[in-house]
């Protein structure tokens, strides 16, 4: 009796066997082997977003083994160095995370990357990605990466309860910020939580201050060589940042961005200036007590960056790689990835209803604001300039020597060829 199957059980087995042996869905070639994908997404919403895309890939190509090669460290601090060594050493991952913009120069694309122009044509991507993004993605007349999202760097996150209990509103100007900071300090709270452990976070915070103090055109002018770094407004921005640091937690150099965000979750700190991967991270922690606003003085300006995936020349798993990139650029891929990652789609046709209130507000701002490129995340400047910029700001966060920092910033611009 135990071994007699009901007709229903037998039918189920037949269906399962047929399904397993069934050819891949129409238009989908059956693939096998491996796909190695390299990124620095190991934490919270970052990993969740990536896993959501992997799940879609596994569904379409169950026989492909995904090798999730990650090197932890926000903004790719550690990953970028490992990647360079792998590319130049002839052992590239198939695909890797790359910011849209001038960061690509670091990897000598004509030597080490595949041009993706053909994919852009076959997938119709030039029509579904916005024009500004297309312009940012083109380097030496070719496409080298497939953008999966848009992130915003100039967001002020705050703990709603702390603000309500203190009778405060999110500050819209720096004067309001410092006033709120004094009130919070008086209550024994840390007004601004920040972590600078990985060396890029001070540069991130400062780019948002620069965009606020110089405005979108002034900010862009600095990276385009139109406005010198000796401009008095750069000194104003440095002084604002210096004052900001007097409202920060004293253990900042021992914390990462997410450690700092944890202070906000715990109600020990009131505000945090960070990109909107923080929204994905909060979501992954089931924390919903946060509010958001543009960094003071930067309403109407969207400091933007975009994560893309590139294809290494000589990739071991070419077909699997192409299938991955197609998924990354697709509506389904982006709708699975972004609500978890805390970013909005690079595509213009995603369903807004799939996104939370913060992300819906980001979508509105992305289409209405002045867009300027982030330097801390690869868009505004070549990597060697961005690296020196971040180092200068990291030192400045502790030392606070305005004249020295301004001189060094001007020098960095000149050395990189950005200032004529
Ligand atoms: C950025 C990246 C984001 C996020 C962040 C923190 O450079 O574009 O996707 O991962 O670093 O790690």
pLDDT tens string 163-202: 999 999 999 999 999 999 999 999 999 999 999 999 999 9
Q: How many residues does the chain have?
A: 420
Please tell me the predicted confidence (pLDDT) of residue 29: 76
Pocket test for ligand 1, best of 78, 260, 275 (most atoms within 8 A of CB): 275
**Phi then psi dihedrals of residue 417, to 5 deg:** 85, 5
**Residue 218 Cα to ligand 1 middle (Å):** 25
Work out the pLDDT band at 27, boundaries 50, 70, 90.
Answer: low
Strands 64-70 and 95-99: unpaired
SS3 308: strand
Please tell me which residue, 230 or 19, carries the higher pLDDT value: 230
* Secondary structure element (H or E) that encloses residue 81, with its range: helix 79-88
Tokens of 113: 């990357």
Please tell me the predicted confidence (pLDDT) of residue 20: 43
User: Which residues, at least 6 apart from 364, have a Cβ–Cβ distance to it below 8 Å?
Assistant: none
89-108: average pLDDT: 98
Whether residue 1 is predicted with pLDDT greater than 80 in this model: the reply is no
Tokens of 381: 């400047």
Quick count: other Cβ atoms within 10 Å of Cβ 44? 21
- Regarding the beta carbon of 151 and ligand 1, being less than 6 Å apart is answered yes
**Residue 48 Cα to ligand 1 middle (Å):** 13
Map tokens 């959501």 to a residue. Answer: 52
Please tell me the predicted confidence (pLDDT) of residue 419: 87
- Regarding the beta carbon of 46 and ligand 1, being less than 6 Å apart is answered yes
**Phi then psi dihedrals of residue 142, to 5 deg:** -130, 160
The pTM (predicted TM-score) of the whole model is 0.93
SS3 312: strand
Q: Of all residues in the chain, what percent carry a pLDDT higher than 70? A: 93
What is the C-alpha separation between 120 and 322, in angstroms, rounded?
12
What is the C-alpha separation between 373 and 366, in angstroms, rounded?
12
User: Quick one: which atom of ligand 1 is closest to the CA of 149?
Assistant: 9
Ligand 1, atom 5, lies closest to the CA of 75
User: Quick one: which atom of ligand 1 is closest to the CA of 341?
Assistant: 9
Please tell me the predicted confidence (pLDDT) of residue 288: 98
**Residue 277 Cα to ligand 1 middle (Å):** 7
**Residue 167 Cα to ligand 1 middle (Å):** 33
What is the C-alpha separation between 185 and 243, in angstroms, rounded?
14
Question: Taking Cα atoms as reference points, which of 85, 37, 83, 103 lies closest to residue 64?
Answer: 37
pLDDT in tens, 60-69: 999 999 999 9
Please tell me the predicted confidence (pLDDT) of residue 224: 97
Query: Left if phi > 0, otherwise alpha if psi is -120 to 50, otherwise beta: which for 300?
Result: left
Question: Taking Cα atoms as reference points, which of 315, 201, 314 lies closest to residue 249?
Answer: 201
What is the C-alpha separation between 241 and 194, in angstroms, rounded?
12
Question: Taking Cα atoms as reference points, which of 207, 229, 203, 228 lies closest to residue 216?
Answer: 207
- Regarding the beta carbon of 307 and ligand 1, being less than 6 Å apart is answered yes
Please tell me the predicted confidence (pLDDT) of residue 16: 46
Work out the pLDDT band at 252, boundaries 50, 70, 90.
Answer: very high
Work out the pLDDT band at 21, boundaries 50, 70, 90.
Answer: very low
Work out the pLDDT band at 22, boundaries 50, 70, 90.
Answer: very low
Whether residue 418 is predicted with pLDDT greater than 50 in this model: the reply is yes
**Residue 146 Cα to ligand 1 middle (Å):** 16
What is the C-alpha separation between 402 and 399, in angstroms, rounded?
9
Do residues 111 and 117 make contact, with C-beta atoms less than 8 angstroms apart?
no
Pocket test for ligand 1, best of 75, 101, 145 (most atoms within 8 A of CB): 75
User: Quick one: which atom of ligand 1 is closest to the CA of 378?
Assistant: 7
What is the C-alpha separation between 325 and 95, in angstroms, rounded?
8
What is the side-by-side strand order in the sheet with 290-294? 190-193, 269-273, 155-159, 290-294
Strands 142-143 and 344-345: unpaired
Please tell me the predicted confidence (pLDDT) of residue 19: 44
**Phi then psi dihedrals of residue 291, to 5 deg:** -120, 175
User: Quick one: which atom of ligand 1 is closest to the CA of 275?
Assistant: 5
Ligand 1, atom 8, lies closest to the CA of 307
Whether residue 3 is predicted with pLDDT greater than 90 in this model: the reply is no
pLDDT in tens, 308-326: 999 999 999 999 999 999 9
User: Quick one: which atom of ligand 1 is closest to the CA of 74?
Assistant: 12
Tokens of 350: 């995603």
Do residues 245 and 400 make contact, with C-beta atoms less than 8 angstroms apart?
yes
Do residues 40 and 72 make contact, with C-beta atoms less than 8 angstroms apart?
yes
SS3 302: strand
pLDDT in tens, 102-156: 999 999 999 999 999 999 999 999 999 999 999 999 999 999 999 999 999 999 9
User: What mean pLDDT is reported for the chain?
Assistant: 94
Whether residue 405 is predicted with pLDDT greater than 50 in this model: the reply is yes
74-79: average pLDDT: 96
At what angle are helices 201-224 and 232-245 packed, to 10 degrees? 170
Pocket test for ligand 1, best of 151, 337, 345, 381 (most atoms within 8 A of CB): 151
User: Quick one: which atom of ligand 1 is closest to the CA of 376?
Assistant: 7
């Amino acid at each position: 009796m135990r071994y007699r199957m009901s007709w229903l059980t037998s039918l189920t087995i037949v269906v399962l066997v047929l399904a397993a042996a069934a050819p891949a869905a129409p238009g989908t070639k059956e693939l096998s082997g491996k796909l190695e994908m390299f990124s620095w997404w190991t934490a919270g919403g970052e990993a969740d977003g990536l896993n959501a895309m992997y799940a879609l890939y596994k569904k379409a190509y169950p026989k492909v083994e995904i090798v999730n090669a990650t090197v932890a460290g926000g903004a790719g601090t550690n990953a970028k160095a490992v990647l360079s060594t792998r590319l130049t050493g002839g052992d590239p991952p198939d695909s890797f995370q790359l910011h849209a913009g001038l960061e690509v120069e670091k990897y000598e694309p004509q030597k080490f990357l595949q041009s993706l122009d053909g994919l852009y044509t076959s997938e119709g991507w030039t029509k579904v990605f916005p024009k500004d993004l297309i312009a940012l993605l083109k380097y030496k007349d070719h496409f080298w990466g497939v953008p999966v999202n848009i992130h915003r760097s100039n967001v002020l996150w705050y703990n709603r309860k702390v603000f309500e209990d203190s009778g405060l509103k999110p500050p819209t100007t720096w004067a309001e910020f410092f006033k709120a900071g004094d009130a919070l300090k008086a209550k024994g709270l840390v007004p601004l939580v920040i972590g600078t452990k990985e060396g890029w976070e001070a540069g991130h915070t400062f780019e948002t201050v620069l965009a606020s103090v110089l405005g979108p055109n002034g900010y862009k002018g600095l990276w385009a060589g139109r406005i010198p770094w000796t401009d008095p407004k750069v000194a104003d921005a440095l002084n604002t940042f210096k004052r900001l640091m007097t409202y920060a937690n004293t253990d900042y150099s021992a914390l990462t961005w997410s450690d700092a965000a944890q202070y906000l979750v715990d109600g020990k700190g009131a505000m945090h200036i960070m990109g909107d991967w923080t929204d994905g991270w909060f979501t992954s922690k089931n924390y919903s007590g946060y509010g958001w606003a543009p960094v003071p003085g930067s309403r109407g300006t969207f400091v933007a960056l975009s994560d893309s995936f590139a294809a290494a020349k000589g990739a071991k798993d070419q077909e699997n790689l192409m299938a991955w990139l197609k998924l990354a650029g697709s509506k389904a891929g982006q709708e699975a990835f972004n609500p978890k990652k805390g970013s909005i789609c690079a595509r213009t046709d995603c369903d807004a209803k799939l996104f939370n209130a913060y992300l819906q507000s980001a979508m509105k701002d992305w289409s209405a604001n002045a867009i300027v490129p982030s330097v801390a995340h690869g868009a505004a400047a070549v990597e060697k300039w961005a690296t020196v910029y971040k180092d200068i700001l990291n030192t400045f966060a502790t030392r606070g020597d305005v004249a020295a920092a301004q001189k060094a910033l001007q020098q960095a611009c000149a050395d990189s060829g950005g200032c004529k």
